[in-house]
Structure 1
Amino acid sequence: MLNRLLSAILFFYVFSQAPLSAQTPASSLEDTLQLNEVVVRGYATNRRLLETPASVGLLTRRDLNQRFGTPTLVPALNTLPGVRADERSPGSYRLAIRGSAIRSPFGVRNIKTYWNELPLTDAGGNTPLNALDVRALGRIEVIKGPSGSLYGAGTGGTILFSGLGVPTGKSSVEVSALGGSYGLYGNGISVQTGKNNAAVSLTYNHLQSDGYRDQSAVVRDNLSLIGSFAVSPKRTVSVLALYSDLHYQTPGGLNEAQFRANPRAARPATATLPGSADQQAGIYQKVGYLGFSHEYRWNDRIQNTTVIYGSTTDFANPFITNYEKRADQGLGGRTVTQIRLATNSIPTVVTVGAEYLRNFTVDRNFGNRRGVADTIQTDEELTARQSTVFLQTESELPAHFRLTAGLSRNDVRYGFTRFPTRAVGALPATLLARNFSPVWLPRVALLRTFGQNVSAFVSISTGYSAPSSQEVRPSAGGFNTTLNPERGTSYEVGLRGSAFRNRFRFDVAAYQFQLRETIVRRSDAAGAEFFVNAGRTDQRGLEAQFSYDFLSPAYFSSQSGLFSLLRLWNSLTLTNYRFRDYQQGSADLSNNKVPGVAPTTNVTGIDAETKAGFYAHVTYQFLNQFPLNDANTVLSDPTQLLQATLGFRHALGKSWVLDVYASGDNLLNRTYSLGYDLNAVGNRYYNAAPARNGIGGVRLSVKW
């Protein structure tokens, strides 16, 4: 109630301060950049994407906040080739880059994430992706494949987040509201100022829904403060503060018969276990994060960025068989120095730095008596430490070649203590440690440009991923001292560019990733997970992204004409992931397909925007069937998903902009699962996604 009242007060206050005048066309949500103009931050190059020797997917504000009406990260991430985001129930995210979700029953693991050099992934390898609100984001870069030479341990990839851009010399306020099917409601306020050598953005967003399935309601409040202050010509200080209060219910997986009979049902009770609704299964999560960044430019050739942060997480999970309560405190820092060597023959940029992360976790399990914590079962503490030092050189060679070489040293350590839980006959405290041997991770990439519009690259990179804290200490309990890190080598070639006067753009990459000691998930009879190493996997893939502008750049920039954007685009992912040397009991699963990875994923869309302010986005997604268990005895259903958004964005006078939109999801009304439980006990693989549903919303902003 408070957030609705605050939105209304601010809305009417701002509305009363500026009179409306004659209508003029509003600017697009963002400028349309050509491929040879797009600059990315991946691998600290800060170069055009065309000159970056790596597979990098880019999502802009249009992709995140206009193409889809659903205010989540999931649909936008799924437009990138090689990236797959799931939402098994509202608020329960799972993310895979090049198939890395095989070890993630929930959450985000095996992926490093940063917000302007500030690490968001903790020392235990976990990322609270559901603590971010897509409405507060302005840009996402996804680096696909191992990137340990600069970002540390991980075999999946790296994600770089950025907030909403703040216009220089301007201040603005935007209020928004949305509503839709299944009790969906949300609102938000964003206040920005870019004056007096400062850029500050304060954003509050609320979202709630009753959910499509039984026991699947969600309520989320997010508050973020992003500030950047130029305290001198050479020095910039920045701050990032995030707070998220999230509660979502977990309906649990269904077997195929239950899924076909009633996909909206929550997991029912059995003869030995209660159902999800009976136990009030769900997640209560409060996340706080505070980080500071200091950038210093000694001169045109040398600059340093140093960051520090602290985080806290209050987590509770009433599950069918137990009730977990966890408190986590994290801290860490990162420093990166770039040096441009003064040489005329071979211009070189050297990047050197280090990163240190530490987390301390208190984890207790209780019995669950219909959503109330009962008798304590385990009382444990876990300390995670992760350190990385790295060096990278980037040299411009003759004949339009560019060579990048990097090397990092990674060290991961865990300390575990289990305390007695009974006064009579209690065992003494158990002290265990798991220190993985430090590893060196090299990466080499060579790129050549062909004119201003085409480039090709080859790269060899090594990946290393120690078990995450949720894998060495899984929900099944205990501390796993036998789980080994994943190690692998990735070979990749890529070609990107544009043709027909930049109207046609393409980005194609092929890779082979040979992974050893692959970590996979298992479940016990009660559904609690644990993890084992599954030998080797051979992961081969082809990723392609194409787009075509039906009208020339000269037409878009002219004053006459109807459209400001008219584009057809396509993202294609082809994979062949198989186990090698994988023995499960007496069964030889070698050459079986890795579960959870679709052999073909194809996403096609049309984006249209008119100079009068009307816009439309249509997206069609197809995934063919893939195995749901290691034995390959159960396959998913093929997925066909159609989504569309229609909107009107227009200026009201010189200062105001009104944006009204309507969006439809699953317009073909398919029964499908947006996220399967892989290798599920009792064949409970299925988590039904919403049937056909609609969303409508409005945004009103003023600038001065």
Structure 2
Amino acid sequence: MRIGAVFFCLLFFPGFLASQIEETVLDTLPVATVSSQKDVTIDRLRAIAPLQTIEAAELNRYDNTTLLAGMNRVPGVRFEERAPGSYRINIRGGSLRAPFGVRNVPVYWNGIPLGEPGGDVPLNFLDASNIDRVEVLRGPTGGDYGPGSSGAVLLRTEQPLAQRGISDVELRSGSFGLFRAQGRYTGALAKNQLLQVRSGYQRTDGHRDHSAFSRLTLQSTLHLRGRPNENDGKTSSTNLHALYTKLDYELPGGLNPEQYAEDPTQARPGSADKNASIHYHNLLLGLNHVAEKDRLSNESTVYATGFYFDHPFNFDYKREANLGAGARTRYRYALSDRWRIGLGGELRLQYRNGQNFENPDASPGALNFSDETYSRLAFGFVEAAYAYAGWTLDLTASTSGLRYAVDRTFSADGNTGLTDFEVRGTVARLRLGRQLNERHSVAISLGEGFSPPTLDEFRTNEGSLNVTLQPERGNNLEINYGYAVNEAFLLQVNAYQYRLRESISSFRDERGTQLFRNAGRTVQNGLEVAADWTIRETFPKVNLFTSYAYTDFSYKEYERDGEDFSGQAIPGVAPHTLNLELGTQLRGGLYAFLMHTYVDEIPLNDANDVFGEAYHLLRLTLGCRTGRFNLFLSGNNLLDERMSFGNDLNPQFGRRFFQPAPGRNWQFGVRFR
């Protein structure tokens, strides 16, 4: 019987459970966008769910030019950066099929869904100045964040505070021509109205030939806080967010083993001549409203977005204009102190007008094809939570539908017309947790994953429309254990097995174009451990953080072109990853942070005969806080190891696997708060 059927049986026949409910469960459930403290207590949530929160200090500790160091602290998460500005997020192997951007991982920024209806998320639209906190959920979520099979990422900006003026000003410089500047201004418009403006600018010449990068972001937040009504107990707040991004970065391309060994700083031949690069102008507007009255709470969001995309590549030239809009709402109602129910839904719409040209001389040549594409994602979800004497039961179910309509108005081969593609899916998740005592807690969960093809997987760069591509579907069994001693020591252990059907894998054709196919069944076994220990709370303060991930991902059944890859390791996943982070704070404002990351060798193709070498990544930050000023010096890759933060998987021709990372590099700067 499918998990969804089990869920609905339990949801509509809760009587046999209601008599056993005693304790509140309101503080134990993950929330996509709710900011109310009644709805989520992170410390308690860690004990029963594979969720980890990264605060701004942890994100920016070593290098706030990228999220790589902060995100990779989370076991089971691999944040990839194949070139400056080219990001991917891999949660438990869930984004291995992405040639660029983020896929199969829903991302929300201040409650606003980021990305397109099909799941493509250009995370590089955001600068570190736009993010104050990250929450990472690992494993199928039950669909309350939409289709996805590996987790979700929730990005948040702090609400403007009452203090006025300029703050959070930073200037940073470093190796490879790095320059970064950011700042923040807050002003009061009225008694309950605050306006905050943030800006961030960053540029670098890049650590490889043809790898320059620049990004400008402008963010404004208008915060309107409703006046609490003592008569009816109602509170509310509204935030209007606006974000503009101008992004330009060059694509050096992948290297074959011989080129990688000879000179890892070189670009792929032809990349500079054809000006392989990406250029974006993006505007995002979002209105987020939170209201709470007695036992009922609601958070609703509406948004609109548009971007212009210009992308010359080695073999073609791509231009697109995109318009999108959507809405999301979530209601929660506490029937009593013992149990709660909720429901919500989301709608995303998008229109894209795109042309693909020849690229004879780094400019658009003859037109290959032109498409008008309409995309729509709609999903609804329900949830219920119960508790009794330390036991908690959390159930979530969702149904979703995704549709693409591609109207090919011109094609050089004469094949024009309308192509429709639609997929639907229903998923559910059930989690049972037990608070054993003040220190120990355990949970077991069973969940389903459903991940349809993204638009860039259905409609690929060379013009094909893959109507035979099937959604990924899978079942996840997971056990969580949490141990806490006040705030001095926190330990979380997650063990899971995820069985995926119709797994989508990527490969490259003879031109280097990324294509996609279903790869049969896979089995993904994993173990994640994270521990945070405050060794000494008085000066000198000493803190130790460590995380470890073990992954055993393999093809259960996969045959391609007459070759059987069953039993082979899935490319792109390191079997072992270890992080060790030691921090100390001395009197007088002096501080030091040392981080060591070990990543095991990574198979780069289905045959498992090419590997990315294992490496040790060492980072160090030294600084001094004096008053409101923070002076710092950071070093990355201090061992000067040859490595890659993201590789190209399964290139069919040319063996261009490797995207080299920077060698030893330094940054220094000053920050004013």
Cα offset, 1:235, TM superposition: 2.9
Label 1:40 to 1:534 Cα distance change in 2 as closer, same or farther (>3 A): closer
CA contact 1:40–1:141 (8 Å) conserved in 2? no
Kindly indicate whether residue 639 of structure 2 is the aligned counterpart of residue 668 of structure 1: yes
Kindly indicate whether residue 559 of structure 2 is the aligned counterpart of residue 573 of structure 1: no
**2:560 counterpart (578, 584, 588):** 584
Amino acid at match of 1:458: I
Aligned-partner Cα distance in 1 for 2:621–2:58: 12
Cα offset, 1:428, TM superposition: 6.8
Cα offset, 1:42, TM superposition: 5.3
**1:379-418 equivalence runs, <5 A:** 379-397=370-388, 399-418=389-408
Question: Could you tell me which residue of structure 2 aligns to residue 278 of structure 1?
Answer: 273
CA contact 1:138–1:165 (8 Å) conserved in 2? no
Cα offset, 1:371, TM superposition: 1.4
Aligned-partner Cα distance in 2 for 1:540–1:227: 45
Question: Could you tell me which residue of structure 2 aligns to residue 460 of structure 1?
Answer: 446
Aligned to 1:228, the other structure's residue is in SS state: strand
Question: Could you tell me which residue of structure 2 aligns to residue 204 of structure 1?
Answer: 199
Amino acid at match of 1:266: A
Aligned-partner Cα distance in 1 for 2:94–2:415: 38
**1:641 counterpart (612, 617, 629):** 617
Question: Could you tell me which residue of structure 1 aligns to residue 220 of structure 2?
Answer: 225
Question: Could you tell me which residue of structure 1 aligns to residue 409 of structure 2?
Answer: 419
Amino acid at match of 1:76: G
Residues 51-104 of structure 1, C-alpha deviations (whole Å, 9 max, x = no match): 463200210011112x11341111111111000011111001111000112211
Cα offset, 1:320, TM superposition: 0.4
Residues 588-645 of structure 1, C-alpha deviations (whole Å, 9 max, x = no match): 1001000000000001111122342212111101111121001111111011110111
CA contact 2:286–2:301 (8 Å) conserved in 1? yes
Residues 558-603 of structure 1, C-alpha deviations (whole Å, 9 max, x = no match): xxxx23x411111100000000110011111001000000000001
The unaligned stretches of length 5 or more in structure 2 are: 1-26, 229-234
Cα offset, 1:193, TM superposition: 4.6
**2:330 counterpart (328, 332, 336):** 336
Cα offset, 1:401, TM superposition: 0.4
Aligned to 2:95, the other structure's residue is in SS state: helix
Structure 1 length as normaliser, TM-score? 0.87
Aligned to 1:359, the other structure's residue is in SS state: strand
**1:157 counterpart (145, 151, 158):** 151
Kindly indicate whether residue 526 of structure 2 is the aligned counterpart of residue 535 of structure 1: no
Residues 96-150 of structure 1, C-alpha deviations (whole Å, 9 max, x = no match): 0001122111110000011232211320211110011113311000000111331
Aligned to 2:406, the other structure's residue is in SS state: strand
Bigger mean CA offset, 482-491 vs 442-451: 442-451
Aligned to 1:258, the other structure's residue is in SS state: helix
**1:230-309 equivalence runs, <5 A:** 230-233=225-228, 234-268=235-269, 275-297=270-292, 299-309=293-303
Label 1:460 to 1:171 Cα distance change in 2 as closer, same or farther (>3 A): farther
Label 1:372 to 1:632 Cα distance change in 2 as closer, same or farther (>3 A): same
Aligned-partner Cα distance in 1 for 2:202–2:176: 13
Aligned to 1:245, the other structure's residue is in SS state: strand
Aligned-partner Cα distance in 2 for 1:442–1:365: 40
Aligned-partner Cα distance in 2 for 1:309–1:248: 27
Residues 130-185 of structure 1, C-alpha deviations (whole Å, 9 max, x = no match): 01111331100000011133111001211111113544455552322110011001
**1:313-352 equivalence runs, <5 A:** 313-342=307-336, 347-352=338-343
Aligned-partner Cα distance in 1 for 2:164–2:390: 41
Aligned to 1:260, the other structure's residue is in SS state: helix
Aligned-partner Cα distance in 2 for 1:170–1:207: 25
Amino acid at match of 1:79: R
Bigger mean CA offset, 168-177 vs 369-378: 168-177
**1:367-382 equivalence runs, <5 A:** 367-382=358-373
Aligned-partner Cα distance in 1 for 2:142–2:392: 20
Aligned-partner Cα distance in 2 for 1:227–1:351: 28
Structure 2 length as normaliser, TM-score? 0.91
Question: Could you tell me which residue of structure 2 aligns to residue 503 of structure 1?
Answer: 488
Bigger mean CA offset, 528-537 vs 169-178: 169-178
**1:687-698 equivalence runs, <5 A:** 687-698=659-670
Amino acid at match of 1:220: R
Label 1:43 to 1:177 Cα distance change in 2 as closer, same or farther (>3 A): closer
CA contact 1:73–1:134 (8 Å) conserved in 2? yes
Aligned-partner Cα distance in 2 for 1:666–1:467: 36
Aligned-partner Cα distance in 1 for 2:390–2:113: 34
Aligned-partner Cα distance in 1 for 2:618–2:478: 32
Question: Could you tell me which residue of structure 2 aligns to residue 64 of structure 1?
Answer: 59
CA contact 2:32–2:145 (8 Å) conserved in 1? no
Aligned to 1:63, the other structure's residue is in SS state: helix
Aligned-partner Cα distance in 1 for 2:410–2:164: 59
Label 1:48 to 1:80 Cα distance change in 2 as closer, same or farther (>3 A): closer
Bigger mean CA offset, 195-204 vs 319-328: 195-204
Aligned-partner Cα distance in 1 for 2:28–2:533: 16
Amino acid at match of 1:435: E
Aligned-partner Cα distance in 2 for 1:538–1:39: 28
Aligned residues: 634
Question: Could you tell me which residue of structure 2 aligns to residue 525 of structure 1?
Answer: 510
Cα offset, 1:650, TM superposition: 2.0
The unaligned stretches of length 5 or more in structure 1 are: 1-36, 269-274, 556-561, 652-656
RMSD of aligned C-alpha atoms?
1.8
Label 1:661 to 1:165 Cα distance change in 2 as closer, same or farther (>3 A): farther
Amino acid at match of 2:496: Y
Aligned-partner Cα distance in 2 for 1:197–1:40: 29
CA contact 1:279–1:368 (8 Å) conserved in 2? yes
Amino acid at match of 2:302: I
CA contact 1:419–1:428 (8 Å) conserved in 2? no
CA contact 1:50–1:453 (8 Å) conserved in 2? no
Label 1:165 to 1:101 Cα distance change in 2 as closer, same or farther (>3 A): same
Aligned-partner Cα distance in 2 for 1:402–1:227: 38
Percent of aligned pairs with the same amino acid:
32
Kindly indicate whether residue 583 of structure 2 is the aligned counterpart of residue 600 of structure 1: no
Aligned-partner Cα distance in 1 for 2:219–2:587: 33
Amino acid at match of 2:378: S
Residues 639-680 of structure 1, C-alpha deviations (whole Å, 9 max, x = no match): 1110111111121xxxxx111111001100011112110112
Cα offset, 1:389, TM superposition: 0.6
Amino acid at match of 1:411: G
Kindly indicate whether residue 609 of structure 2 is the aligned counterpart of residue 630 of structure 1: no
Aligned to 2:477, the other structure's residue is in SS state: strand
Aligned to 1:369, the other structure's residue is in SS state: coil
Cα offset, 1:403, TM superposition: 0.6
CA contact 2:33–2:154 (8 Å) conserved in 1? no
CA contact 2:118–2:452 (8 Å) conserved in 1? no
CA contact 1:353–1:390 (8 Å) conserved in 2? yes
Cα offset, 1:49, TM superposition: 3.2
Aligned-partner Cα distance in 1 for 2:543–2:154: 26
Amino acid at match of 2:450: Y
Amino acid at match of 2:464: G
CA contact 2:33–2:299 (8 Å) conserved in 1? no
CA contact 1:249–1:281 (8 Å) conserved in 2? yes
CA contact 2:450–2:474 (8 Å) conserved in 1? yes
Residues 200-235 of structure 1, C-alpha deviations (whole Å, 9 max, x = no match): 431101000001100000011011122321133233
Label 1:185 to 1:172 Cα distance change in 2 as closer, same or farther (>3 A): closer
Aligned to 2:106, the other structure's residue is in SS state: strand
Amino acid at match of 2:660: A
**1:531-570 equivalence runs, <5 A:** 531-552=516-537, 555=538, 562-563=539-540, 565-570=541-546
Label 1:489 to 1:428 Cα distance change in 2 as closer, same or farther (>3 A): closer
Cα offset, 1:329, TM superposition: 1.0
